[in-house]
């Protein structure tokens, strides 16, 4: 029987990650089509990153102002603060899985479709082939995911 308390808590943490990424674009619901959240709660720093579909174009966080009509603050200080908030949420995800005696996923991918107000989720317990958990691998996996979604949005939640 599923543990609804676990599901509810995990759902709240997932929503929190999306909310952090939404705040980064100043809650700009007029231009936002989708938010893509990548996180790895298994290492000490809980690697995370976001990208977006804005006005029909897939863009990384640092390219937001190339597609937004209302620019956002892309300073290093602001980005660092948002990544730190997301890392705290990912650490809470890891703690939740451990408390439940469940395997902590290596990678969490969330896709929030703003137009349909729908949240999709993919938990990956193994790294994609070619990655071995070395320093920098998570950034590479994130970039591979971003590139795959740019080519075909249906790849957003496809298994690696």
Q: Which domains does the chain have, with CATH numbers?
A: 4-157 (3.30.500.20)
Q: Which long-range contacts (CB under 8 A, 24 or more apart) does 47-55 make?
A: 47/87, 47/138, 47/139, 47/142, 48/17, 48/83, 48/86, 48/87, 48/90, 49/83, 49/139, 49/142, 50/21, 50/24, 50/86, 51/146, 51/149, 52/21, 52/25, 53/153, 54/25, 54/28, 55/31
Residue-level pLDDT at 144 = 93
Mean pLDDT estimate for the chain: 93
Q: Is the pLDDT of residue 109 over 70?
A: yes
Residue-level pLDDT at 135 = 63
Q: Is the pLDDT of residue 1 over 50?
A: no
Work out the average pLDDT over 28-55.
93
pTM: 0.93
Residue-level pLDDT at 128 = 87
Work out the average pLDDT over 124-144.
85
| Least confidently predicted of 70-74, 78-82, 128-132 | 128-132
Work out the average pLDDT over 153-159.
84
Q: Is the pLDDT of residue 138 over 60?
A: yes
């Amino acid at each position: 029987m599923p543990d609804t308390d676990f599901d509810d808590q995990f759902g709240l943490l997932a929503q929190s990650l999306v909310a952090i990424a939404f705040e980064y674009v100043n809650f700009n619901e007029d231009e936002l089509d989708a938010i893509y959240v990548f996180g790895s709660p298994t290492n000490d720093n809980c690697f995370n990153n976001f990208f977006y579909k804005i006005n029909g174009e897939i863009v990384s966080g640092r390219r937001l102002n190339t597609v937004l009509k209302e620019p956002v603050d892309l300073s290093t200080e602001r980005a660092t603060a948002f990544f730190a908030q997301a890392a705290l949420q990912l650490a809470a995800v890891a703690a939740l899985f451990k408390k439940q005696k469940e395997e902590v996923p290596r990678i969490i991918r969330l896709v929030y479709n703003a137009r349909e107000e729908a949240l999709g989720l993919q938990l990956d317990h193994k790294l994609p082939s070619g990655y071995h958990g070395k320093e920098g691998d998570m950034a590479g996996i994130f970039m591979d995911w971003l590139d795959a979604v740019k080519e075909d949005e249906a790849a957003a939640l496809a298994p690696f």
